[in-house]
Chain A
């Protein structure tokens, strides 16, 4: 059976994480859960890959972490956007939407270019 799910674009993971955290503090599992549900499981993401990305973003100062207690009373590490992370997210989103816009314009074009008619 062919797997129709998408491999995630390099660098897009950061945007996904930042976007997830924009709803409020979440633990790593929460982030992965939210992404799976929003995308309806469209990515072939190894869930563990999330964690190095989280740590990297933390070191860059875009998110910060704190140990807390989860819904079922377990020790869990919660991540939260910082101000710098919020600014970064805004920036990434505008880049992303322009990029997506441009790509979709090309792939969904329906009219043959006029100058080709001459042939």
Chain B
């Protein structure tokens, strides 16, 4: 700056200052001489009273420099202000043109910002734990014994465990029963995560040892009767009373002492975890049950790969101590360690990355589109630019003016876009699949706003660059009338055509992806779950301590419930079970078939299946057809001979074409009542075969199922009710609550919902991805259409004269039509043709998300290509049609 200033003012500034000072000193010396001083001492005195001339000169120079800078700055700002003001005048002069651009930008920025907020919250933000990059999840078979061994032997990390499945417990507070989500954790878990209770303390080692008193929610929960509350539980049930520590909470009928309250943003292992209990891992079968999901914190200086190597040494070495290891050759082969952040985001990662990529494509299309429109208009503005250049505006000035104009537009659109995103984010979050992890971290925070501002600036610069370069060329006089202008102009037209074609290519990619995902969604919803969901309502009923009651008391409760429901208005039929399809949880069992030593042919005594305890009327209510034999009746009671029903798949696998009716199986489960005498697992007679039901997901195979009459079933922690309504399901929830309250007022009714919505959750992720990508594709096609239309309309207006000449010399209107229509169709065809291989290349990344449709399904590509060609057809038709109506005489007078 200083150097520029020097060159601007020349060297004279310093000389002038020195001259001024010397003149003063000289004049003062003369004055003194006239008063009688002699020459030399007069000069000394004059210099003395003047002070240090160097300091004075420097001070003057500083003042001049400072003012000069301020002047330049204010001149610059006022120029920018002029440019912006000019831009605003432009907007007012062509409101429709600018409205299209701003609308385009707002849509793009709002869409990409709110989606970025989602991706940022779920995928990009670090976990809310100190040094969370050191946290890992261990992939093992989640056995107690594995935890016990790892805790002792792991050198690279410290390990903690928690109960993997979500558990709900019944909590009585002031007589009101409530169902709260709970988790069992080892004493070290909070330490490893690095989060301490906000109030009170964590669990002691003693509390997670054998011998606790309370057993809430099932056999794995052995506690000393202590519980830690989440911050929201503390708020909802204790009104944030700081004296909560030491108070008593009744869990499943057992009093528990509150020992701690976690901080508000602690959500582990699940977002809605409300209570934590000590999780005992030393009691019970060390090598059975999936009960110990493990996380670890890498020790200082240890790396992820060291931890992985260690785990892959320790886990396979356990084969020597695991009694059943010889039956399971695969044990220990899949042990692995992955960063906890990746484990938590898990399957959502791919969907979100696909969405992130599609945001990028939409933003790209957006830039291209606006650039196309700007360029098209840039040509029209040449005259203005030439005039301004002629009036003395230099290249930099013209370029800056165009850039400022575009940035003004982009930032204004960005501001509106952020506001739109703010308004739409709430709706978007509600639309997100409920099982998406870390939803609570989705906010429109500074990071997201920064993203939005960068996108706006980037689009502003990107779409402004071409027109700005163009403006600078105008400054060089290249676009003055004459041959040079025509050359540049045809080049501009080529660029805009290429850009418009590019938009079609990108639209193809998005549209193909969207169609693939929509087909997936359609295929998923078309999958027959094996039962009829219409007018089916489900609920969970959890009398406190239900798990510990005896079988007759379960029977009594279920029977009362069914009797009362059968008599209730609007209920066509009702049934209860311990679990129903699409419940989360673990319902696996091992069974043996009488007379077969190796039923699966894999050298194993047992086969595995999903098993359910169901009441009479279950198959009738769910509408699952009984294929052979009979369904359960009220005669299959507690003391009757043991009976089961099996699914078609099991029948087919083990009996082939023979009838399995009358065959015997037994369950390898020590908890069941040993009715045949101590130590003897009872045999169950197969009395019927039912059709297949999807239990856990719609995409995979159906799981083999064994059904046991509820009265003979032992693994019962709460009841699932299914009610088939006569016509409408709305009143059923109230009826259910009333009926349960009559039987046991302390039993909470939770998770009341229609089966349709329960199944809807199973396709929530694919639906989310499909709808969003579908939206993007529509936006992209729309933008491509606008872009192509802009290019053609502009080309037509530039060629009015040429067309006039052609018409005047006898060209047919068909020829003129073909000229422009051909231009439009050419760019559509080329764009689509280029888009297809790009789409083939990119849809490969989608294949993991697809179901029932191939990522390179030709029909999908063909359909998309046809749609885009039709769009191109429509877009080319209108300007071409208009061109044929040009009056040659008027056209020649044009301009």
Contacts and interface: CB of A to CB of B under 8 A. Distances in A.
Interface of A: 27-29, 32-33, 46-49, 51-52, 55-56, 59, 67, 70, 72, 74-77
A76 B23 contact: yes
Contacts of B27: 29, 33, 70
A54 to B, nearest CB: 8
Contacts of B67: 59
5 contacts: A47-B51, A48-B55, A52-B56, A52-B63, A77-B20
Contacts of B28: 29, 32, 47
B59 A52 contact: yes
Given A48-B50, A56-B63, A29 B56 contact: no
Listed from nearest, the 5 A-B pairs whose CB atoms lie closest are A46-B51, A59-B67, A48-B51, A48-B56, A29-B27
Given A55-B63, A59-B63, A47 B50 contact: yes
Nearest to A49: B51
Contacts of A48: 21, 24, 50-53, 55-56
Given A48-B21, A51-B20, A52-B59, 14 more contacts: A27-B20, A46-B50, A48-B56, A51-B59, A52-B56, A52-B60, A59-B67, A72-B30, A74-B26, A75-B19, A75-B23, A76-B20, A76-B23, A77-B16
A64 B649 CA distance: 103
B31 interface: yes
A4 B19 CA distance: 33
Given A29-B24, A70-B23, A75-B19, A47 B49 contact: yes
Of residues A32, A52, A59, which shows the largest number of chain B Cβ atoms within 10 Å of its Cβ?
Answer: A52
Given A47-B50, A48-B52, A49-B51, A55 B23 contact: no
B64 interface: yes
Given A29-B28, A33-B31, A55 B51 contact: no
Q: Please classify the interface of chain A as helix (H, G, I), strand (E, B), loop, or mixed, using the class held by over half of its residues.
A: helix
A82 to B, nearest CB: 15
Interface of B: 16-17, 19-21, 23-24, 26-28, 30-31, 49-53, 55-56, 59-60, 63-64, 67
B64 A51 contact: no
B26 A49 contact: no
Contact of B20 (A28, A32, A47, A56): A28
Report whether over half of chain B's contact residues are helix, strand or loop; otherwise say mixed. Answer: helix
Nearest to B20: A77
Contacts of B64: 55, 59
Contact of B56 (A27, A49, A74): A49
Contact of A55 (B26, B30, B60): B60
A65 B27 CA distance: 19
Most buried by A among B20, B28, B51: B20
Contacts of B20: 27-28, 51, 76-77
Contacts of A67: 16
A28 B26 CA distance: 12
A76 B30 CA distance: 15
A95 to B, nearest CB: 24
B243 to A, nearest CB: 64
Contact of B23 (A29, A33, A46, A49): A29
Contacts of A77: 16, 19-20, 23
Given A46-B50, A59-B63, A59-B67, A51 B23 contact: no
B548 to A, nearest CB: 90
A47 B60 contact: no
A67 B17 CA distance: 12
A81 B31 CA distance: 26
Contacts of B52: 48
Contacts of B21: 48, 51
Nearest to B54: A48
Contacts of A56: 63
Nearest to B64: A55
A51 B26 contact: no
Nearest to B61: A55
Nearest to A32: B24
A108 B99 CA distance: 74
Contacts of A55: 60, 63-64
Contacts of A32: 24, 28
B433 to A, nearest CB: 66
A77 B56 CA distance: 16
Contacts of A52: 56, 59-60, 63
A6 to B, nearest CB: 16
Contacts of A28: 20, 23-24
Given A55-B64, A75-B19, A77-B16, A47 B59 contact: no
B49 A74 contact: no
Contacts of B19: 75, 77
A51 B24 CA distance: 10
A93 to B, nearest CB: 24
A28 B23 CA distance: 9
A42 to B, nearest CB: 14
A74 B23 contact: yes
